[in-house]
Structures are given as structure tokens and as C-alpha cells.
Structure 1
Amino acid sequence: MKSTNNTAPQNFWLIVGRALFGFCPSCGKGRLFSAYLKQVEHCISCNECFGRIKADDGPAWLTIFMVGHILIPILLAVAPRITWPDWVSMIVWPGLALILAIIILPRAKGLFIAIIWRTNVKANK
């Protein structure tokens, strides 16, 4: 799973930061995703292998967790103070949840891939 390019372990927070922005956790130059959520087989810059790393349901779980913890306090603080019709609330709050989920999901997947890569967890075949 790990290539022989890295001789020394890297700073955990540097690796996490690279992955959150969609870059290779190893070198920080290559892209981690070839599409919205499709991870690359290997980094084009350092040739680090990411194809066998499977994040499974972790990113979805983290996304739901984050969206809920961001949106619910806002909703509880704002909803009692506004006089929108119900149909506006039924559009605004789910729309905001969808936008947050679209923003958070690839970052959550990058985070899980980076942590799995960093801890050198072996993939199931």
C-alpha cells in the first residue's frame, strides 16, 4: 500500500491538511480525486498508491454528523425569530443541508483516505 518513496514519517496535521484540500497526502502535489468522489489509483507526482484504500461509509457518517452539528444550532437560533411562510422554510433548510453535504463530503473522504494511508492499514482483498 505504501510506496518506497517516503523515508521518514510525515507530520499528521500536514497530511490531513493536504487531504482536506484534495491533494496527495504524501507529496501534496498530485490530486487525490479524479472526479468529485472518485479517488485516483496512484499519485501522478510521487506514484503513491491509493487505489486499495477504501473509506467505505466513514465519509458519509462524518458528513451527516458535521451537517447536523452545523445546521441544527443555526436552525434553532434563527427559526423562532423569523416569520417566513412554512414553504420557504421547507426549501431553505434542506437546501442549506444539501449545500453543506456537497461541500463536506469530498473533504471527509480525503480525511479518511489520509488517515488510513498514514496509519498503513492493510486493505481487504
Structure 2
Amino acid sequence: MTDQTAPPATDRPTWPAVFKGYRRCCPNCGKGKLLHSYLKVNDACSVCGQELFHHRADDGPAYLTILIVGHLMAPALHVAYAQYRPEPLTLFAIFALGCLSLSLYLLPRLKGVIVAYQWARRMHGFGKSG
């Protein structure tokens, strides 16, 4: 056994990190960019130097996006159809555009949330760095 102990989890509060991740900012300082291009995570924060390449977001952001968009749009689709009875093509066009727009908006933000959550909980190698 080694004498090194992990720092307490309280020095990385989860909710502030998650909010910073939602804004696509570094979970450590909140100033540097978490993502470059659309969904690529930076290897390190350009402001504080926090290593970010440890993340294992994988398919999590896509699953959460589908879950949220589905739970928002399905009831809206039901209400719109039951109340207004629009033409099928109109209904399709509006909800296809809504689903696409909401998905493209949420996907990078949810990726930031997952990376920030992993950082705050010291998962997948984030515990080694400051």
C-alpha cells in the first residue's frame, strides 16, 4: 500500500462542474473551452491547464439527447395532433425541425455535462490531476 491518499471529493463539487460543462467550459476553472469543433474534447484547458483527455463520454451524450428530446417532443406531438389536427406533412415538418434543432442544441452541452461529471467524481483518470 502507498501512503498517498486521494483528496476528498468535496474539493470538486459536482453541480458547479456540471453547470460549467453545460456551458461547454472547463469544469475546473470555468473559463477555458471544453470542446473544439462540434463534439471534440480538448486535450487540456487553455486557461488552467487541466487535462481533459481522460474523459469516457462515448455514447452517453447521444443517449441522453434521445431521452430528453423524446420525452419533450412525444407529448407535444400528441397534444398538437389531438388539439389542432394539422395536415400530416405540416405536423411532420414542424416536429422534424424541432427534434433536429433540439438535438443539435443539446448534444454538445450534454457531452460537456458528462465530461464535467466525470471530472468532478474523479472518474477515468481525472483523479490523478489537480
TM class, shorter-length? 0.7 to 0.9
Is it true that 1:20 corresponds to 2:28 in the alignment?
no
Q: Which moved more, 1:48-57 or 1:59-68?
A: 48-57
Q: Which residue of 1 aligns with 2:77?
A: 75
Answer yes or no: is the 8 Å Cα contact 2:64–2:110 preserved in 1: yes
- Flag as ranges the 4+ runs of structure 1 deviating above 4 A: none
Q: Which residue of 1 aligns with 2:97?
A: 95
Per the normalisation by structure 2, the TM-score is 0.83
1:122 deviates by: 2.2
Aligned length: 116
- Two-structure CA RMSD over aligned residues (Å): 1.3
2:23, 2:117 → 1: CA distance?
A: 14
1:53 deviates by: 1.1
Runs (5+) with no aligned partner, structure 1: 1-7
Larger gyration radius, structure 1 or structure 2? 2
Going from structure 1 to structure 2, the CA distance change for 1:11 and 1:119 (only over 3 Å counts) comes to closer
Runs (5+) with no aligned partner, structure 2: 1-9, 126-130
Q: Identity over aligned residues, as a percent? A: 32
Bigger relative CO (Cα 8 Å, ≥ 6 apart): 2
